[in-house]
Amino acid sequence: MGLCCGMIGLPNVGKTTVFNALTGSAALAANYPFATVDPNTGIALVPDPRLGVLTDLFKSKKTTYSTLEVRDIAGLVEGASKGEGLGNQFLGHIREVDALLHVVRCFQGTDVVHVSGGVNPLRDIGIIETELLLADLDTLDRRKQKTEKKVRAGDKKAAFELAFIDKLIGLLDKGEWLGNLTYTPEERVVLDECQLLAAKPVLFVANVSEQVSADEAMVKTVCEFADKRGARVVTICGQLEAELSTLPENERLDFLKEMGLTESGLVRLTREAYTLLNIVTFFTAGEIESRAWPIPKNMKAPQAAGKIHSDMERGFIRAEVYHYDDLLACGSEAKVKEKGLFRLEGKDYVIKEADIVYFRFNV
């Protein structure tokens, strides 16, 4: 799909450690600022237990999970919007992603130096967001100057754009995060053209130590901040997840049980990232392969078929559909059909989360 999340945060908050655990990479995670200059890019598998169930039911020879591109962007510092710490370069990397995973340090410890001298999650969030807002104000100021020239030349479309730019500048001046707001289709076009950093959806990642209870107060402050914003928080121990990712698959569940956990923090993180990007997952299943397909929410059946192969969209006839929950309740595809839960859908059908689909098409 080409969707990409960028991991942002101050230096030394554990971004690269979380990135390595998430993507199975071996990027340098060092105890000093700017160990990462160019963004590390990796592909994260999106764990989905439903896919394992389908593989077992259909006795599939192959199981293919969804993936998500993740970029570990170098730590920003105060003054980044003015070029501090290679800030302009790093801000440019952020503009290229679809959503932000804002890693916030919620653990103490003198072995990992904090660039501001002490751990304070809300201060850290404030530093990062202030730099992004300032960079956006600079972008909008330049855009406004060009748009004003068009208005003076009598461009009526430009007059609408200028009014919207003034609205955005006013919101940023108040410290508003633009990604939380709703926009008209016309406003969305202008917003997308501007590539504003503060218009991107954000998921806060509270990075804690293995002594989670000692970090609860800091995590609580992040959660309270996110609640006011209407954002989500995932708590994760980057170091523990990094250790977990090095274990063979059959040993990971035992490790999680020993830690008193039912699932990896990375499972929650990838699940929340998909929610952040407004993605739903449908499945194809059979003897050859069971596969998860991520698509934008509200996509219709022909376009979903096109994600598998362009010929399937061009020659779309119908979609044979039933839901994963119905398959689970019935125990087999044959039973689903017996109970009348197997449907034939046309071109206007909107694919739902956890639909199992077989597309009929002309070559």
Same fold, 4-275 and 298-361: no
What's the confidence (pLDDT) of residue 90?
61
The residues, any chain, with a CB within 8 Å of residue 92's CB and separated by 6 or more, are none
Spatial separation of the C-alpha atoms in residues 29 and 103, rounded to whole Å: 14
For residue 352, the one-letter residue type is K
Is the pLDDT reported for residue 329 higher than 90? yes
**Averaged over 158-184, what is the pLDDT?**
93
Task: Please state, as a whole number, how many other Cβ atoms lie within 10 Å of the Cβ of residue 78.
Answer: 17
4-275 CATH, one of 2.60.300.12, 3.40.50.300, 3.30.230.70, 1.10.3720.10: 3.40.50.300
Triad 323, 325, 330: Cα angle to 5°: 95
Question: How many percent of the chain have pLDDT more than 70?
Answer: 88
What's the confidence (pLDDT) of residue 87?
42
What's the confidence (pLDDT) of residue 233?
94
Listed residue (167, 151, 171) closest to 159, CA to CA: 151
Q: Lowest-confidence range among 95-99, 240-244, 248-252, 355-359?
A: 248-252
Q: Are 302 and 308 in contact (CB under 8 A)?
A: no
Task: Please state, as a whole number, how many other Cβ atoms lie within 10 Å of the Cβ of residue 61.
Answer: 11
Q: Which of 108-112, 117-121, 124-128, 165-169 is the most confident on average?
A: 165-169
Rounded to 10°, the helix 238-245/15-23 angle is: 30
Q: Would you kindly state where each structural domain of the chain is located, as residue ranges? A: 4-275, 298-361
Q: Which CATH superfamily is domain 298-361 in?
A: Beta-grasp domain (3.10.20.30)
**Averaged over 79-88, what is the pLDDT?**
48
Instruction: Specify the DSSP element, H or E, that contains 358.
Output: strand 355-361
DSSP character at residue 151: H
22 — pLDDT class (breaks 50, 70, 90): confident
268 — pLDDT class (breaks 50, 70, 90): confident
**Averaged over 162-167, what is the pLDDT?**
96
What's the confidence (pLDDT) of residue 59?
96
**Averaged over 16-39, what is the pLDDT?**
61
Inter-CA distances, 50 with 15, 271, 319, 323, Å:
29, 13, 21, 12
What's the confidence (pLDDT) of residue 249?
73
79 — pLDDT class (breaks 50, 70, 90): low
DSSP-based helix, strand, coil % in the chain, nearest 5: 50, 20, 30
Q: Lowest-confidence range among 47-51, 189-193, 197-201?
A: 47-51
Q: pLDDT digits over 31-49, tens only?
A: 334 444 456 888 888 878 8
Q: How far is CA 292 from the centre of its chain?
A: 17
